[in-house]
Amino acid sequence: MDRFKIFTIGLLILLLFAGCKTGMPPGTPQEEIQNVERALLEGKWKEVETYSEKLLVKEPDNAVVHFVLSIAYYMSGKYGLQENQYRWVLKDQQSMDAVVAWCENLVQRFPQNYYARFLLGSAYPVRDEMEKATETYKMAIEINPNVADAYVGLGTIYLDDEQVAEAIKYFKKAIEINPIYVVAYLNLGGAYEYNDQIDEAIASYEKALEINPQVVSAYVSLGDLYLKKGDRDKAIKAYKKIMELEPNSELSTYAKEEIEKAQRGQ
């Protein structure tokens, strides 16, 4: 299931809290911490991004702030930046435990806040506590059934557990609520691909790229699927887009190799 991780990893979410109990060093400015928390609880991700970037100028090694910023990038569709920031939370067990502990604290303080529940549901998978994650996402949906994020979270859990029909149901529900939710289309494409529903998977990835043409992972999937269908021209076009967007990356090297294979008729 590794190919799905690129779409789901951004859903492992942490929150920043007020005062020294936030997981921040004691010197972290109180007002800035409160600004981040307020913006997160209101789902104002652009503000979270701004405040977190400012905090990192002062505390460049603060893993918590890196993680919060990764979520802000994720919510803004900046998936490459998100992935770079997210690595900080997985650097050691202490950091991973902090994710769950602080999210639980947030729910204790704001039990009826949708984003508090959503964030906790997204934190539990850091410690592979999937049953707790499922429960908490469902609580978030009970609080507000008209926000798409928790449905995607549930879908990723079911997909990782290979319950593909359930996953597809939740991804489709997220898209129904938010028709321009790129990650929902990416995951839906992954679920269809797992089921070997190639045409449906292609349609989902194409829709994601229609909304955001900068998502490199979608071009990788499209290239592979078009090759599987025997449509070399479309596969080469998708791979060339990878090389254009990330010319010096490992994915670009992969794309170049696949183009050469396609041109040789392999």
Q: What CATH number does residue 90 fall under?
A: 1.25.40.10
Instruction: Collapse the DSSP code of 3 into the 3-class scheme (helix H, G, I; strand E, B; otherwise coil) and give the result.
Output: helix
Q: Quote the pLDDT of residue 29.
A: 61
For residue 129, the SS3 value is coil
What's the structural domain count of the chain? 1
Q: What type of residue is 112? A: Q
Q: Which residue is associated with the tokens 């859903």?
A: 11
In a domain, 46, yes or no: yes
**d(C-alpha 140, C-alpha 135), whole Å:** 9
Quote the domain boundaries for residue 54.
1-147
Tell me, what DSSP letter sits at residue 29?
A: -
User: Residue 177 falls within a domain, yes or no?
Assistant: no
**Domain assignment present for 188:** no
Rounded Cα–Cα distance for residues 58 and 28 (Å)? 9
- Where b means 16+ CB within 10 Å and e means fewer, 23-48 reads bbeeebeeebbbbbbebbbeebbebb
Predicted confidence at residue 266, as pLDDT, reads 60
CB atoms within 10 A of CB 179: 12
User: What distance in Å separates the CA atoms of residue 16 and residue 172, rounded to the nearest whole number?
Assistant: 31
pTM: 0.82
Q: Is 144 left (phi over 0), alpha (psi -120 to 50) or beta?
A: beta
Reading the chain (266 residues) residue by residue, the pLDDT tens digits are 444 333 443 333 322 222 333 444 445 567 787 888 899 899 998 998 999 899 889 888 777 778 778 878 887 878 778 888 877 777 778 878 877 887 898 899 999 999 989 888 988 888 899 999 999 999 999 999 999 999 999 999 999 999 999 999 999 999 999 999 999 999 999 999 999 999 999 999 999 999 999 999 999 999 999 999 999 999 999 999 999 999 988 999 999 999 998 888 76
Cα separation of the two ends of the chain? 25
By the 8 A CB rule, do 45 and 73 touch?
Answer: no
Helix axes 198-211, 182-194, angle to 10 degrees: 170
> Is the residue at 175 inside a domain?
no
**Structural domain contains residue 190:** no
| Spatial distance between the Cα atoms of 101 and 115, rounded to a whole number of angstroms | 16
Residue at 201 is within a domain:
no
